[in-house]
A and B are shown apart, each in its own frame.
Chain A
Amino acid sequence: MFNILRRRYLFFGISLLIILPGLLIAVFKGLGLSVDFTGGTLVEMQFESGDPPQPAAVIEVYTRLGVTDVQVQTTGQNTLVARSTFLDDATRKEVLEALESEFDQAITVLRFESVGPIIGREVAIRAAIAIAVAALVVVLYITLAFRGIPHASRYGICAILAMIHDVAIVVSLAAIGSLFWGWQVNALFLTALLTVIGFSVQDKIVVFDRIRENTTVYRRLPFETLVNHSIVQTLQRSINTQLMTVEFMLLALALFGGITLREFAVVLLVGLFSGTYSSIFIAAPVLVVWENREWRNWFGGKNSTQAPA
Chain B
Amino acid sequence: MRPYRSLILIIIIVILAIWINLPDNPGIHLGGYNKEISTRLGLDLVGGVQALLEADLPEGSPADTDLSEKMRTATIIVENRVNGLGVNEAVVQQAGDRRIVVELPGVEDPEEAIAIIQETGLLEFVEMGTSPVPEGAIVQTDYAVGSSAEGAPVPTAEVTGESPPVSDGQVLHTVMTGEVLKTVEVQTDQAGQYIIAFTLTPEGSRTFGDFTTQNVGNILGIVLDKQVISTPRVESAITEGEGIITGSFTADSANALAVQLRYGSLPIPLKVVESRTIGPSLGQDSLQKSLIALGIGFTIVILFMALYYRLPGILADIAIIIYALITFALFRYIPVTLTLAGIAGLMLSTGSALDANILIFERLKEELRNGRTMRQAVDISWKRAWPSIRDSNIATLITCAILFWFGSSFGATIVKGFSVTLALGVMVSLFTAILVTRTLLSLILSYLEIDNYARWFGL
Q: Which residues of A does B touch, CB under 8 Å?
A: 44, 88-94, 108-116, 118-119, 122-123, 126-127, 129-130, 133-134, 137-138, 141-142, 145, 187-188, 190-192, 194-195, 197-199, 201-203, 205-206, 209-210, 212-213, 233-234, 236-237, 240-241, 244-246, 248-253, 255-258, 260-261, 264, 268
Q: How far is the CB of B214 from chain A (nearest CB, A)?
A: 41
CB-based contact B344/A268 at 8 Å = yes
Q: How far is the CB of B94 from chain A (nearest CB, A)?
A: 16
Q: How far is the CB of A276 from chain B (nearest CB, A)?
A: 11
CB-based contact B351/A246 at 8 Å = yes
Using known A-B contacts A119-B274, A137-B398, A258-B285, determine if residue A240 contacts B362 with beta carbons closer than 8 Å: yes
Q: How far is the CB of B221 from chain A (nearest CB, A)?
A: 26
Per the bound structure, the CA–CA distance linking A119 and B276 in Å amounts to 13
Per the bound structure, the CA–CA distance linking A241 and B362 in Å amounts to 11
Q: How far is the CB of B99 from chain A (nearest CB, A)?
A: 9
Instruction: Provide a sorted-by-A list of 5 A–B residue pairs whose CB atoms are within 8 angstroms.
Output: A44-B282, A90-B159, A108-B279, A130-B405, A134-B398
Number of chain B residues whose Cβ lies closer than 8 Å to a Cβ of chain A? 74
B392 interfacial by beta-carbon distance below 8 Å? yes
CB-based contact A110/B281 at 8 Å = yes
CB-based contact A116/B273 at 8 Å = yes
Q: Chain A interface secondary structure, helix, strand, loop or mixed?
A: helix
Which one, A198, A212, A260, contacts B348 given CB within 8 A?
A198
Which one, B114, B282, B340, B419, contacts A111 given CB within 8 A?
B282
Q: Enumerate the 5 nearest inter-chain pairs by beta-carbon distance, A residue then B residue, closest first.
A: A249-B297, A209-B388, A130-B406, A252-B297, A112-B277
CB-based contact B272/A248 at 8 Å = no
Which one, B348, B351, B395, contacts A205 given CB within 8 A?
B395
Chain B residues, Cβ within 8 Å of A90: 158-161
CB-based contact B395/A195 at 8 Å = no
Chain A residues, Cβ within 8 Å of B294: 249, 252-253
Chain B residues, Cβ within 8 Å of A245: 301, 304-305, 351, 354-355, 358
Which one, B114, B282, B362, B392, contacts A89 given CB within 8 A?
B114
Q: How far is the CB of A149 from chain B (nearest CB, A)?
A: 12
Chain A residues, Cβ within 8 Å of B158: 88, 90
Which one, B289, B399, B402, B403, contacts A258 given CB within 8 A?
B289
Other 15 A-B pairs with CB < 8 A, given A137-B398, A141-B395: A89-B111, A130-B402, A134-B399, A188-B414, A191-B340, A194-B419, A195-B345, A195-B418, A237-B355, A244-B308, A248-B304, A253-B347, A256-B289, A257-B289, A261-B289
B396 interfacial by beta-carbon distance below 8 Å? yes
CB-based contact A126/B410 at 8 Å = yes
CB-based contact B159/A236 at 8 Å = no
Chain B residues, Cβ within 8 Å of A255: 293
CB-based contact A190/B414 at 8 Å = yes
Residues of B315-372 contacting chain A, CB below 8 A = 340-341, 344-345, 347-348, 350-352, 354-355, 358-359, 362, 366
